[in-house]
């Protein structure tokens, strides 16, 4: 019997009751992995990457850019070549700048709508950083453009070998925040600006 006035401690839970079912753990881990791969800014086609909700409801301001990709021809695996083996190219940019890098849109293979469909936007690289870190934003865009130049060389070689005529730029600058052109002026000099109608960006 327990001493007077002292409640008996409840028996310990069995190991199976101390953790969620195996299937639920797998689902939670998958959700966490998917969340980790997304940019912290909500990058929708209307340029919603300007900010995201931080803890407590405050909005975290972001710098962001959409770079549209136009190197989609038969036999050329654009997205795998751009991201690199195991995503190493995009990971290197993220590691050096803390930027969030995502390939999204038609042809990306990234099913972000209910986990079943690609976003109905042009194929793009979306880059997002904290608004207060313009240096990181500039470096992230410069590194992304360098990767695109590397892919562009291989793309032209592929087109030449396959007798494919490709007209227009291989990539172009799409949506930017209000001060984006000013921040990136020297970085994007000479890079074509997108001529897509705004509703398709």
Q: What is the mean pLDDT of residues 172-196?
A: 93
Give the separation between CA 125 and CA 94, rounded to whole angstroms. Answer: 13
Q: Which pLDDT tens digit goes with each residue over 52-73?
A: 454 555 556 889 999 999 999 9
For the segment 89-148, what is each residue's pLDDT rounded down to a tens digit?
A: 999 999 999 999 999 998 888 888 878 788 888 999 999 998 889 999 999 999 999 999
* Per-residue pLDDT, 112: 80
For position 7, what pLDDT does the model report?
47
Q: Which residue has the higher pLDDT, 112 or 194?
A: 194
CB environment 168-192: b (16+ within 10 A), e (fewer): ebbbbbbbbbeebeebbeebbeebe
Place of tokens 């969620």: 20
The whole-number pLDDT of residue 178 equals 87
Average model confidence (pLDDT) across the chain: 77
């Amino acid at each position: 019997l327990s001493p007077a006035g002292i409640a008996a401690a409840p028996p310990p839970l069995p190991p199976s009751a101390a953790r969620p079912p195996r299937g639920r753990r797998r689902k939670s881990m998958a959700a966490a992995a998917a969340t980790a791969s997304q940019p912290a800014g909500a990058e929708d086609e209307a340029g919603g990457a300007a900010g995201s909700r931080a803890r407590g409801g405050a909005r975290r301001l972001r710098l962001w850019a959409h770079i549209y990709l136009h190197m989609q021809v038969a036999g050329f695996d654009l997205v795998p070549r751009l991201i690199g083996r195991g995503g190493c190219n995009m990971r290197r940019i993220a590691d050096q700048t803390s930027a969030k890098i995502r390939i999204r849109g038609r042809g990306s293979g990234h099913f972000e709508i209910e986990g079943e469909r690609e976003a109905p936007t042009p194929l793009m690289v979306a880059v997002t950083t904290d608004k207060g870190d313009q240096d990181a934003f500039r470096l992230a865009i410069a590194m992304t453009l360098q990767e695109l130049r590397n892919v562009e060389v291989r793309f032209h070689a592929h087109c030449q070998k396959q007798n494919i005529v490709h007209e227009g730029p291989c990539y172009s600058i799409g949506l930017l925040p209000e001060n984006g052109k000013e921040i990136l002026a020297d970085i994007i000099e000479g890079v074509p600006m997108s001529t897509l109608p705004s509703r398709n960006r």
